[in-house]
Structure 1
Amino acid sequence: MNTLTIIAVASGGALGATLRLLINGFVNKYVPHTLPFGTLTVNLLGSLIIGMLFAYFHFNTHLSPHLKTFMVTGILGALTTYSTFAIESFFLLESGQYGHAFANMALNLFGTILLAGIGYIMVLNLAK
């Protein structure tokens, strides 16, 4: 890993995190919600964008790896890690690895929820 890669990720990450804050805030302010639609919006948007970018990269192999890292790991990584999970699951499905795809989806969905709950409960109990 070199300095340019680190700068690409850091600058993209700053942009992605800022976009997440703005989009999340906007959606939660203007869309009546009983679900976290701000988070859903950034996850869906990030998933759409990563799919579009990977398709674009497929046809444009001459692009700088630093530009790709800036956009995918930097911006989308800070906007949402869900986009990475989505494209990885799609690639598993596309390649016919259905068992692996569904295991990946189930483990990511239920595992993250379970661990978020465990972490939440741990901190609540430690704070008592």
Structure 2
Amino acid sequence: MTDKPRVLFLCVHNAGRSQMAAGWLRHLAGDTVEVRSAGTEPADRINPVAVDAMREVGIDITGAAPALLDHDTAGASDVIVSMGCGDACPVFPGKRYEDWKLADPAGQPIEVVREIRDDIRGRVAALLDDLTATRR
């Protein structure tokens, strides 16, 4: 791992879970971690309910856009966190992988998306703690 760990959050549409995770990590880590997110079949836009849920906790993800996973981005990442993409997420040898089982916020009411958001926050905080301990 480089001095600045590179984390890629990966899901199918890159419109909800992975965008919220990227928003949380940017918020909690500042510029100490390089944050990326992508999808295997990106949506046209970010889930507006996910945007609203993140805005409620002071994190603005409106500037993010779903992006297609490319091999260069994955290859240049130290940690790849997949979220519900199963076999659609490719495996890149030599990378640290985490597979987070999270509900899909697509089509869910704000109350459910808040729970997903808060679950993601806890997982991101634990990941950041681990990355920080690894760098010591």
Structure 1 length normalisation: TM-score? Answer: 0.30
More strand by share: 2
Structure 2 length normalisation: TM-score? Answer: 0.29
More helix by share: 1
Larger radius of gyration: 1
